[in-house]
Amino acid sequence: MSGYPNDERYGHPLSPPPPADLYHYNQFNNPGPPPTTTPNPYPPNPYPVSQTPNPYPHSSTPNPYPPTTTPGPYQQPQQQYPPYPPSNQPSAQTYSTPNPFDRPPSTPYSITPSHSYQDPFSGQGTPATYPIQEEQTGYGYNQNQGRYSTPGVQLQDDGYVDVGREMDEQDHDTPLLNPHVDITPGDQGPDHEETNIHYGAIPQRQPRRYKTIKKVPLYHGNFVLDTPVPSKLLDMCALKNEREFTHMRYTAATCDPNDFLEEKYTLRQRLYDPPRRTELFIVMTMYNEDEQLFTRTMHGVMQNIKHLCERKRSKMWADGGWKRVVVCVVSDGRMKINSRTLSTIAAMGVYQDGIAKNIVDKKPVTAHIYEYTTQISVTPSMRIEGAERGTVPCQIIFCLKEKNQKKINSHRWFFNAFGRVLEPNVCVLLDVGTRPGPTSIYHLWKAFDLNSNVGGACGEIVADKGKFGKNLLNPLVAAQNFEYKMSNILDKPLESVFGYITVLPGAFSAYRYIALQNDSTGEGPLQKYFLGEKMHGADADIFTANMYLAEDRILCWELVSKLGGSWTLHYVKSAYAVTDVPDQVPELVSQRRRWLNGSFFAAVHSTVKFNYIYRSSHSFARKAWIHVELFYQTFNLLFSWFSLGNYYIAFVILTQSMGSLGPGVLKVLNTILNYFYLGMLVMCYLLALGNRPQ
């Protein structure tokens, strides 16, 4: 009888196996290598070989049905193979243990004991601990549904939240086979991908992908997590002795910005002993700007912090001046942020993918807050500069809002949420894409330091003219550059003398934080400023909706006329910032339509509400100067109302005077130009009825 395996997968019981299976069959059933010198502590064969005689001995009687040489019509030709040695021949080296079924089954999943690490900010009365309990579960891992967030955190009965981390099969501590059972080489062998056949014992479980559950306790009822930064980033840092350099702090905020402090949320600066004093609080509002615009602003801010720390004779900035500056980046909408910009922020260590949560304690997350003190700066050319180039550490708060709720909501997070925690002295407002000068922030801060009555200040806004002024070849850029120069040379210095500047540009301005606070009744500059967040819907009338298109003008007027206050606004010529200006007609029309409507109605509001100036505590001389400015602003308001007709009258007078100097051809040409002017005005009016200039 043939020695081939009697298996149904080979078809006929006596048919030979396929060549690939025959090769593996021979490989795992031949006698093994010679025994090693190490003695085997176990008996060579714990199970005695049966002595029962073979019920089917080999008979010497010839086969009455010898195989025919000629195959029949339903018979396949059979190839002759040499006899194969019997499979029950003992191997030269065996590995065996006692019967695995005599012992209780082992737990297939191990539970790692919980561990804790020290609070990142020691010295508190009750040090906060972040014990993390890791437990491997058998549930399959679901891929993240959000773009940059992981599945929601579910609150357990013990007050912990689960943070899932994906694990591959190689990372699991439970192997496929029972480690206590050793099998002979003839019974267990490697899998062969080319034949898709598995040899050996049956696996104890099916290979799967698992996740590790980390149970993190809620910190004062809030989800706060410290995660180490990548080692490659840490290698580029000069300072590695503090936790603020080695760990990033993540907080999932589930409340409104106005309730941030009441919900017991906090920031790193308040957890030090003693808490750090924040002198400068800089906010950078962002929507979907690319990495070039972001690095332009961020690198400019880092250069300003470097300049502050270089002032060795200053009592404020000489020793550890960077600890008194906090930079807050607020991105408007998690799904709106540019992916390359987010990668740049992650390269600085302020963001890590995969730790954000959508739900905490069955409450949706409204903002993801990342805190880290970075020691590197990314230039607009995407080069990394560290301590070798003089870069100093910078405390950064990255607030990634879950929904897109406009710029004014980003400022509400800055003032009402983070500002109430840090209580800074001066707040600087920047737009991503605006690059401040290397010393501009210092000059703005110096204006507040020299005069305690200064409640707000601004610098010069410079249009980006490009390399060698090539952008000025565009007429739109050249016209806006001329307008900015006239405003910075004539308007703002004159208004600064009176003490009231009609508008501090939101792209580059600064305010004293205490001057913006509301009074005991809840009314004040910030309260009026944030009314604009809800004034763009159906609840607002036409006048109010147009007025809040320029909410920064409302803030300036409310600050100067604040009840019981004597705050003034100043213009700082030595502080400047370079910004991009629209270079296409649709962008320019969209911007100017908003500016013209907002400025006109805001001017009407300040003129009508001029009596508010009498509730302030300004001196008699200051109020007199503000009265002079009232007449100046009223004249500008009337001039802007009649400016459309004034420009047309000036055009007609000039063309008629030129026609009287020449032949009749010029008169015909001037008539055509006059009608063309009127036609363009009518067309602009009709186009303005739409809401999409693009």
Which residues does the annotation mark as catalytic? 552
Contact 430, 477 (CB under 8 A): no
CA 499 from chain center: how many Å?
40
Cα separation, 365 vs 357, in Å, equals: 7
Cα separation, 604 vs 557, in Å, equals: 12
**First-last CA distance in the chain:** 88
Q: Quick one: angle between helices 643-659 and 620-641, nearest 10?
A: 50
* H/E segment holding residue 160: strand 160-167
CA 541 from chain center: how many Å?
36
Contact 229, 350 (CB under 8 A): no
Neighbours of 437 (CB within 10 A): 21
Cα separation, 550 vs 529, in Å, equals: 10
Cα separation, 671 vs 659, in Å, equals: 10
Cα separation, 385 vs 463, in Å, equals: 27
- Amino acid letter at 519? D
Cβ burial, residue 282 (10 Å; 0-12/13-18/19+)? buried
Cα separation, 64 vs 78, in Å, equals: 19
Helix (H, G, I), strand (E, B) or coil at 517: coil
Contact 439, 301 (CB under 8 A): no
Cα–Cα–Cα angle for 156, 161, 167, rounded to 5 degrees: 115
Cα separation, 328 vs 504, in Å, equals: 20
Cα separation, 514 vs 635, in Å, equals: 33
Which has the closest alpha carbon to 5: 84, 82, 106, 61? 84
- Amino acid letter at 648? Y
- Amino acid letter at 211? K
- Reading phi first (left if > 0) and then psi (alpha if -120 to 50, else beta), residue 637 is in alpha
Q: Which three-class secondary structure string do you get for 390-402?
A: CCCCEEEEEEEEC
The structure tokens listed for 534 are 């809800």
Cα separation, 685 vs 589, in Å, equals: 12
List Cα–Cα distances, 63 to 1, 59, 66, 122, in angstroms: 11, 9, 6, 93
* H/E segment holding residue 551: helix 551-560
Q: Given the DSSP bridges, would you call strands 325-331 and 394-401 parallel, antiparallel or unpaired?
A: parallel
Which has the closest alpha carbon to 119: 15, 243, 24, 22? 243
